[in-house]
Every structure is written in structure tokens, then in C-alpha cells.
């Protein structure tokens, strides 16, 4: 005999039965104060009658907290987010919460689908690093309006978000650029990530400020979405005679395209080109010479972000705007050894 899986009842199914919006249904089931007691009871009774079950954890319709936190990241790669996921998971475990991890795969549409899924799953709050395509924040605003707090980290909006956890990108990039200058480099290149990201522009701002303060002209500014693009641009730019002698790189992923390309061109590091990168992992230690870095701990970013989120979940009356800045550290290594010392 063939068994057919029964389709799960959704918020929209309940809304259609009553002729209301799915937002009204969601608010009623979360006991939102904007919904009347009569409407809440009507919606709850219908939800029970239709056997609505918001997620696999079979939450009670009257339960205040699901003890589930949603985490949306642009992608899961070796370069950026594994340590952050570990930091979030460990903190949540110790605080009695579970984590539902979703990847937006650098897609704005998938990011919106993820927020819809988490909304229907009745998560208590959301941690998110936005995609390179994301410029509109209405899907996050809807969550906040329905009483689900959102904390942004690493990749954030410039002008939206009550709570953010970031590093001081401008200052950190200034420090990296200054280090290249003080090591004797005269012609500096900035290798950024996706040009539209706020984080990319803030680091470019720090790069340019350092050049201005040291009365230097910028040699090259390029943007690369991934390691393949950064490799291609290095092969193009550094095959020409008047190439840069210093590179400030935005991330491990961009770096992983730069170094093999320089090696392919037989350009010596650090004799001909000094290299420094933002990093949070072992990638920079895998090359010879090892790469100087601005170290920023994404594990720490994750821990602080989830701590702030749980505070907002459990004490919504105390919620206020918070921008938490995580410290960074310059770690000089062989890739920026002073030119004068060669």
C-alpha cells in the first residue's frame, strides 16, 4: 500500500479560513498585544482544530518561548563562518537554546524564504549576516514587528538594525594599510570583496584614509566576489610591469586566490610584494611565508551576538539600540617583512 505524506498546515491556511492576513495569525499565536483577546481565541481554536504544528518540536500554542534561535548566514565555507557557528552553538547550548542554521547562499530571495520559514517555525529570535544582494530590510522589519528580535553581525545594514555586532572595519583597515606603509611599500592595492557590501566600503574607507594621512596615492582598487575572481585579477594586474608592491586584502577567501596567483607569476613575497589580510582561521598560516593578518574572531562575534539576542528575547522591555564593537589585532608575519631588511 502506498502512503502519501500529509501536507503540513501553514499560517496561510488558517488565515485563508478566517479571511485575515497570515501576519494576524502569527501575532495571535504569539500572544501579540495588538490582537484582541477574542481574535486570539478564535485563531487558537481553529489552529488546534486544523492540527497546526509550527515545527518539529511540537510547540504549545500557548508557550512563551520555543527556546530556538534562527541563524542565517550567506554561505558555509572554510573561509568565514565555521568558527562563528561554533561560537553561537556553544553559547546557545550553555544557555538552554537550540540553533536552527540556514544558508542564504548569497541570495536575497533565499534569505527572504529563510525568514518566512523561521517565522512559521516560531523561533524566539534571529541572528543574521546579510547577503551581498540584500539592500531591502522589510523581511527583517516584519519579524521585529511581530515580536521576534533580530541581531545583525559581521555583514550589516548601514542604516537599519537595532542591535549589531561588528568590528571597527575602517580603523582595522587603516591599521593594516599603515603596517604595509611602515614596512616600506610605496604602491598599494586594495583587494575588496563584493563592492555593494557595507563592510567592503568601510574597509576601503580605512585604506584610503591611511593613504591620505601618509600622503600616498592609491595604486589599485579591485573587488572580487570569490577566490577565483581574485586570482584572475591578480594574474591580470601583476603581469604588468608597474604593479603594486603591497596588497591589503579583505578576507581569507579573497586571499586564497591572491597567493597562488602571485606564486604562479613567480612574484616573491615579501621581496616584491607585501601582503596583509583580514583573517579568522588557519588559511593565512598555510602559505610560505605565513601571511600577516588583522585577526578578528568570528567565534567571539557569534558569542556576543547570541548573548545580546537572548537578552532581547528574555527581557524585551529592556531592548535598546546596541552596536557592539569587537576588538581586532594586528599580527605581523613573514609576508610583510620590511623591504629594508631584505
Span 187-222, pLDDT tens digits: 999 999 999 999 999 999 999 999 999 999 888 999
Nearest to 131 by CA among 93, 98, 166, 102: 102
Share of the chain above pLDDT 90, in %: 58
Domain boundaries, the chain: 169-295+330-341
φ, ψ of residue 323 to 5 degrees: the values are -120, 105
Instruction: Name the burial class of residue 11, with classes exposed (0-12), middle (13-18) and buried (19+) by CB atoms within 10 angstroms of its CB.
Output: buried
75 compared with 128, residue with greater pLDDT? 128
How far apart CA 256 and CA 262 sit, in angstroms, is 11
142 compared with 23, residue with greater pLDDT? 142
Mean pLDDT of 167-187: 96
48 compared with 261, residue with greater pLDDT? 261
Span 30-68, pLDDT tens digits: 777 778 888 888 988 888 888 786 653 444 444 456 789
Asked: is 169-295+330-341 a CATH 1.10.10.10 domain? The reply is: no
The pLDDT of residue 314 is 86
Nearest to 131 by CA among 155, 153, 161: 155
**Coil, strand or helix at 192:** strand
How far apart CA 179 and CA 330 sit, in angstroms, is 9
For 29, the enclosing helix (H) or strand (E) is helix 22-29
Task: Answer whether residue 266 shows pLDDT above 70.
Answer: yes
By the 8 A CB rule, do 174 and 148 touch? no
The pLDDT of residue 236 is 95
Span 270-298, pLDDT tens digits: 999 999 999 987 889 999 999 999 999 88
The pLDDT of residue 54 is 61
**Coil, strand or helix at 183:** coil
The pLDDT of residue 57 is 40
Instruction: Name the burial class of residue 59, with classes exposed (0-12), middle (13-18) and buried (19+) by CB atoms within 10 angstroms of its CB.
Output: middle
- Residue 118: alpha-carbon gap to chain centroid: 17
60 compared with 27, residue with greater pLDDT? 27
From residue 196, give the alpha-carbon distance in Å to each of 45, 55, 109, 131, 243.
Answer: 47, 35, 17, 10, 26
82 compared with 252, residue with greater pLDDT? 252
**Coil, strand or helix at 220:** strand
Task: Answer whether residue 5 shows pLDDT above 60.
Answer: no
Confidence of residue 181 (pLDDT cuts 50, 70, 90): very high
Amino acid at each position: 500500500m502506498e502512503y502519501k505524506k500529509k501536507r503540513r498546515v501553514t499560517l496561510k491556511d488558517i488565515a485563508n479560513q478566517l479571511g485575515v492576513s497570515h501576519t494576524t495569525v502569527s501575532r495571535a499565536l504569539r500572544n501579540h498585544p495588538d490582537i484582541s483577546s477574542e481574535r486570539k481565541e478564535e485563531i487558537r481554536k481553529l489552529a488546534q482544530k486544523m492540527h497546526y504544528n509550527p515545527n518539529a518540536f511540537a510547540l504549545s500554542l500557548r508557550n512563551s518561548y520555543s527556546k530556538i534561535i534562527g541563524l542565517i548566514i550567506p554561505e558555509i565555507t572554510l573561509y568565514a563562518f565555521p568558527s562563528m557557528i561554533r561560537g553561537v552553538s556553544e553559547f546557545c547550548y550553555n544557555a538552554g537554546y537550540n540553533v536552527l542554521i540556514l544558508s542564504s547562499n548569497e541570495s536575497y530571495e533565499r534569505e527572504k524564504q529563510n525568514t518566512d520559514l523561521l517565522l512559521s517555525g516560531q523561533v524566539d529570535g534571529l541572528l543574521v549576516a546579510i547577503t551581498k544582494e540584500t539592500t531591502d530590510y522589510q523581511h527583517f522589519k516584519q519579524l521585529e514587528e511581530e515580536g521576534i528580535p533580530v541581531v545583525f553581525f559581521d555583514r550589516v545594514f548601514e542604516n537599519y538594525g537595532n542591535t549589531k555586532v561588528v568590528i571597527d572595519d575602517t580603523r582595522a583597515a587603516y591599521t593594516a594599510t599603515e603596517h604595509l606603509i611602515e614596512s616600506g611599500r610605496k604602491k598599494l592595492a586594495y583587494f575588496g570583496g563584493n563592492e555593494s557590501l557595507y563592510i567592503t566600503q568601510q574597509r576601503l574607507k580605512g585604506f584610503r584614509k591611511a593613504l591620505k594621512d601618509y600622503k600616498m596615492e592609491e595604486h589599485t582598487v579591485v573587488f572580487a566576489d570569490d577566490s577565483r575572481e581574485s586570482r584572475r585579477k591578480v594574474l591580470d594586474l601583476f603581469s604588468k610591469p608597474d604593479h603594486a608592491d603591497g596588497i591589503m586584502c579583505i578576507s581569507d577567501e579573497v586571499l586564497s586566490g591572491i597567493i597562488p596567483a602571485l606564486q604562479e607569476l613567480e612574484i616573491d613575497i615579501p621581496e616584491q610584494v607585501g601582503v596583509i589580510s583580514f583573517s579568522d582561521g588557519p588559511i593565512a598560516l598555510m602559505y610560505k611565508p605565513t601571511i600577516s593578518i588583522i585577526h578578528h574572531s568570528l567565534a567571539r562575534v557569534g558569542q556576543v551576538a547570541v548573548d545580546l539576542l537572548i537578552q532581547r528575547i528574555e527581557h524585551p522591555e529592556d531592548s535598546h539600540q546596541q552596536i557592539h564593537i569587537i576588538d581586532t589585532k594586528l599580527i605581523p608575519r613573514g609576508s610583510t617583512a620590511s623591504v629594508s631588511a631584505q
